[in-house]
Amino acid sequence: MIITLGRKDIEKARSFAKNISVHKHKESLFLGHFTGKLGEIAVQKFFNHYGINVTLDFNIYDTGHWDNNDIHFHGWDIDVKCFHDTSSTFYIDFNKLNFREKDAQLPHYFV
């Protein structure tokens, strides 16, 4: 299945990533958050294709705070992990995972 992202999707992801970069005063955060949000939108479109409605979180959290999941569906927490096509590494924030484990908020699945 091919997922197509339109201009509206790209603009939503761009705006989200820009807002995080400005809020946290780190321009270097833009590309990772832009790529990640595009991935979340693509997974959302995949679910929607099969009649499954999921909502994405576009909130901006202060440093040290974060969302509980990327997608929540019928009691299941799903985190979407993406990387840019020119990336040589795949980054997972283990500090975030450790905090989430202590709070019993680890996702059920990674996609």
**Nearest in space to 82 (alpha carbons), one of 74, 73, 91:** 91
Residue percentage of the chain with pLDDT more than 90 = 37
Q: What is the pLDDT of residues 55-78, one digit of tens each?
A: 898 888 877 777 778 898 888 889
How many CA atoms does the CB half-sphere of 24 hold within 13 Å? 18
Question: Does the pLDDT value for residue 90 go beyond 90?
Answer: no
Instruction: Name the pTM for this structure.
Output: 0.83
| 65 C-beta neighbours (distance < 10 Å), count | 9
| 100 C-beta neighbours (distance < 10 Å), count | 18
**Nearest in space to 83 (alpha carbons), one of 46, 47, 32:** 32
Give residue 11's pLDDT: 97
Task: Work out the pLDDT band at 48, boundaries 50, 70, 90.
Answer: very high
For the segment 79-97, the average pLDDT, to the nearest whole number, is 78
Beta strands at 109-110 and 76-79: parallel, antiparallel or unpaired:
parallel
Please tell me what DSSP assigns to residue 110. Answer: E
Asked if 62 and 70 touch (Cβ cutoff 8 Å), the reply is no
